[in-house]
């Protein structure tokens, strides 16, 4: 078998050196009653080409996003990933290394994570960032818990603009923590009054910008009210490319910014793995969860990097740790940081401009279509429309024509019939004018 180097002769010699007759003698601590001699009922080992054949067959049963007009977003965005990114992350010294606990032989990982932390702080407008978390949803839950630790309060308010998965993950994660999570109704028209709900019990308000339904909001007034009341403002960003064009949360007064980093450097991958970004103010850093890299010097006085502030973490603090998290999303963070290094200041800004302009073009083309009503007055690269028919049915009909038309809100909110006609549509640099025209033509037909 190709992954196993030991030969039978090796095994025999090794057993002799150990002083036992067979490998079974090494398993003597396993109770006899549970030892299994026969292989389990699964196929035997297979050649590389056989595995390729079987998995390629499964892959062939999916409709590839890039095979036709495509307008899905809702927290996962289809951007171009430069070839350089994928080539570099597959270097074995990155791909096959462990968490950088031995800094002398991990300066490569540590330096790129330090650079990653800097990039995340810069784009979000914050002071410091950690070395990443599982995804945007779990990072949101960590942020809410952190806000409660900082304020010593227990009440968390989630805006209806927050991604429904971020909402449910936060509510699930904190359900037995003694904290209260109040989630406002989904809010495609931006009618909710967050400011009026902030009070002396509030630990934090969690909002998303741009919101789940597309809208971009100036959060400065909300931040000011939070701070007057001693609460924190947590801002989630589901599409970090937007940070190249719109005011970052840090500039609007956010105390913690979390984001899903997938859309920079990472493919869709059916939604996983993701990349949780997490940034905050320097004064809160000891309450932040997740791995962090810091600068220091070595025995010869040369600049270098180490994992630091580990006294917050589970391997030291056990049940008193800030979180049970033991891993980050290293390779996805590497893809993110390489893509952002390639883009740079000018590239990220221009990419964001293109995304916005494409979405505006799409909105302009859709607005005259009978049965389509634009709900989002402001947006970045994604907006909500109300259709004259249930959005899920329309999406299904268009999928049969190989047009992936967007995400129906009812997928997340089946118990809100008022959202049945709401459809989210996204455009990126990958969306062509011809794609838009195909969508418009198909919608005209289906909605007539």
Partner 1 sequence: MTKTISGSRGLTIEEPLLFEQGSPEQCGVDLEEPPAVVDRLGGLRRKAPIGLPGLAEPTVVRHYTRLSQKNFGIDSVFYPLGSCTMKHNPRLNEKMARLAGFADVHPFQPESTVQGALALIDLMAHWLKTLTGMPAVAMTPAAGAHGEFCGLMTIRAALEDRGETRTRVLVPESAHGTNPASAAACGFTVDPIPANRRGRVDLAALKSKLGPDVAAFMLTNPNTCGLFEDEILEISEAVHAAGAFFYGDGANYNAIVGRVRVADLGIDAMHINLHKTFSTPHGGGGPGAGPTVLSAALAPFAPLPGVIHDDTGFHLVEHAVGSGRKPCGRIKGYHGQFGVFIRALSYMMSMGADGLRQSASDAVLNANYLLARLSSDLTPSFEGPCMHEALFDDRFLKDSGVSTLDFAKALIDEGFHPMTMYFPLVVHGALLMEPTESESKETLDGFIASVQGLARRAKAGDGELFHNAPEFTPRRRLDETAAARSPVLRWSPAGGNGDKK
CB of 393 to partner 1, least distance (A): 11
177, 180, 287, 388: which one binds partner 1 (CB under 8 A)? 177
Residues 32-91 that bind partner 1 (CB under 8 A): 33-36, 39-46, 48, 50-52, 54-56, 58-66, 70, 72, 74-76, 78, 82, 84, 86, 88, 90-91
Q: Does 293 bind partner 1 (CB under 8 A)?
A: yes
- CA nearest 154: which of 202, 200, 115? 202
Rounded CA-CA distance 397/444 in Å is: 13
- Among 169, 174, 148, 164, CA closest to 208: 164
- Beta strands 276-280 and 407-408 are unpaired
Q: Does 321 bind partner 1 (CB under 8 A)?
A: yes
How far is 213 from 90, CA to CA, in rounded Å?
Answer: 36
> ∠ CA(191), CA(195), CA(201), 5° rounding?
130
> Which position among 69, 117, 157, 428 is part of the footprint of partner 1 (CB under 8 A)?
117
State the nearest-atom distance from the C-beta of 445 to partner 1, in Å: 18
**3-class secondary-structure state, position 366:** helix
Token duo for residue 399: 């999928």
Using CB under 8 A, which of the segments 118-126, 147-155, 191-199, 223-231 binds partner 1?
A: 118-126
Q: Can you tell me the distance from the alpha carbon of 298 to that of 305, in angstroms, rounded to the nearest whole number?
A: 9
Question: Does residue 287 bind partner 1 (CB under 8 A)?
Answer: no
Per CB under 8 A, contacts with partner 1 among 341-370 are: 341-351, 353-354, 356-358, 360-361, 363-364
CB of 177 to partner 1, least distance (A): 6
Site for partner 1 in 417-436 (CB under 8 A): 429
Instruction: Count residues binding partner 1 (CB under 8 A).
Output: 210
In the numeric block, which tokens belong to residue 284? 């809160």
State which residue, 108 or 390, has the beta carbon closest to partner 1. Answer: 108
Sole binder of partner 1 in the list 149, 184, 227, 308 (CB under 8 A): 308
Q: Give dist(CA 351, CA 81) in Å, integer.
A: 12
Q: Is 330 in the site for partner 1 (CB under 8 A)?
A: yes
* CB of 335 closer than 8 Å to CB of 85: yes
For residue 117, count other CB atoms closer than 10 A to its CB: 24
Q: How far is the CB of 292 from partner 1 (least distance, A)?
A: 6
Contacts of 334 (CB under 8 A, 6+ apart): 88, 89, 94, 112, 116
247 part of the interface to partner 1, by CB under 8 A = yes
Q: Which of 224, 309, 440, 442 binds partner 1 (CB under 8 A)?
A: 309
Alpha-carbon span 243 to 258, nearest angstrom: 12
- Window contacting partner 1 (CB under 8 A); options: 153-161, 222-230, 248-256, 440-448: 248-256
Structural contact between residues 243 and 126, judged by C-beta atoms closer than 8 angstroms: no
> Exposure of 206 by Cβ count < 10 A (0-12 exposed, 13-18 middle, 19+ buried)?
buried
Query: What span, in angstroms and rounded, lies between the C-alpha atoms of 397 and 446?
Result: 8
Tell me if 169 sits within 8 A of 141, measured CB to CB. yes
In this chain, which stretch among 24-32, 146-154, 193-201, 228-236 interacts with partner 1, using CB under 8 A?
Answer: 24-32
Please give the residues from 121 up to 150 whose contact with partner 1 meets the rule CB under 8 A.
Answer: 121-123, 127-129, 131-132, 134-138
Q: Which residue stretch of 153-161, 197-205, 226-234, 267-275 sits at the interface with partner 1 (rule: CB under 8 A)? A: 267-275
Residue 32 CB, shortest distance to partner 1, in Å, is 10
Residue whose CB is less far from partner 1, 165 or 199: 165
Q: Which of residues 379-418 bind partner 1 (CB under 8 A)?
A: 379-380, 395-396, 399-400, 404, 407, 411, 414-415
Centroid of chain to Cα 24: 45
Q: Which of residues 195-224 bind partner 1 (CB under 8 A)?
A: 216-218
Q: Which residue from 109, 151, 208, 428 is in contact with partner 1, where contact means CB under 8 A?
A: 109
* Shortest Cβ 375–partner 1 spacing (Å): 12
* Sheet strand arrangement including 256-260: 128-129, 276-280, 256-260, 232-237, 202-208, 155-158, 180-183
Select the residue interacting with partner 1 from 143, 234, 237, 338 (CB under 8 A).
338
Closest among 145, 120, 110, 123 to 277, alpha carbons compared: 120
Query: CB 213 → partner 1: shortest distance, Å?
Result: 14
């Amino acid at each position: 078998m190709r992954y196993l180097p030991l030969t039978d002769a090796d095994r025999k010699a090794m057993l002799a050196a150990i002083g036992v007759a067979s490998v079974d003698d090494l398993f003597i601590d396993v109770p006899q009653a549970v030892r299994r001699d026969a292989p389990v009922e699964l196929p035997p080992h297979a050649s590389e080409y056989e595995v390729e054949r079987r998995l390629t067959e499964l892959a062939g049963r999916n409709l590839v996003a890039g095979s036709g007009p495509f307008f899905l977003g809702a927290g996962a965005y289809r951007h171009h990933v430069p070839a350089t990114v994928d080539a570099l992350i597959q270097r074995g010294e990155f791909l096959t290394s462990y968490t950088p606990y031995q800094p002398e032989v991990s300066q490569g990982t540590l330096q790129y994570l330090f650079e990653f932390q800097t990039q995340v702080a810069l784009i979000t407008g914050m002071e410091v960032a950690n070395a990443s978390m599982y995804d945007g949803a779990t990072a949101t839950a960590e942020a809410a818990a952190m806000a409660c630790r900082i304020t010593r309060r227990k009440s968390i308010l989630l805006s209806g603009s927050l991604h429904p998965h971020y909402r449910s993950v936060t509510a699930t994660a904190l359900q037995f923590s003694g904290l209260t999570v109040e989630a406002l109704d989904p809010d495609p028209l931006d009618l909710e009054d967050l400011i009026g709900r902030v009070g002396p019990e509030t630990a934090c308000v969690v909002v998303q910008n741009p919101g789940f339904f597309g809208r971009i909001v100036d959060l400065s007034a909300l931040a000011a009210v939070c701070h007057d009341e001693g609460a924190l403002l947590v801002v989630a960003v589901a599409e970090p490319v937007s940070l190249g064009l719109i005011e970052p949360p840090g500039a609007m007064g956010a105390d913690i910014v979390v984001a899903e980093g997938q859309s920079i450097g990472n493919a869709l991958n059916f939604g996983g793995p993701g990349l949780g970004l997490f940034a905050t103010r320097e004064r809160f850093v000891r309450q932040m969860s997740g791995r962090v890299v810091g600068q220091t010097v070595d025995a010869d006085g040369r600049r270098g990097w180490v994992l630091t502030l580990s006294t917050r973490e589970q391997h030291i603090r056990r049940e008193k740790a800030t979180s049970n998290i033991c891993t980050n999303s290293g390779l996805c963070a590497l893809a993110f940081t390489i893509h952002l290094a390639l883009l740079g200041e000018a590239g990220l800004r221009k990419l964001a401009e293109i995304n916005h302009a494409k979405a505006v073009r799409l909105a302009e083309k859709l607005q005259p279509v009978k049965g389509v009503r634009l709900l989002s007055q402001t947006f970045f690269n994604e907006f909500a429309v109300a259709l004259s028919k249930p959005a899920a049915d329309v999406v299904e009909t268009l999928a049969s024509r190989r047009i992936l038309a967007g995400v129906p809100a009812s997928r997340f909110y089946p118990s809100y019939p008022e959202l049945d006609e709401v459809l989210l549509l996204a455009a990126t640099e990958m969306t062509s004018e011809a794609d838009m025209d195909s969508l418009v033509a198909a919608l005209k037909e289906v909605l007539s």
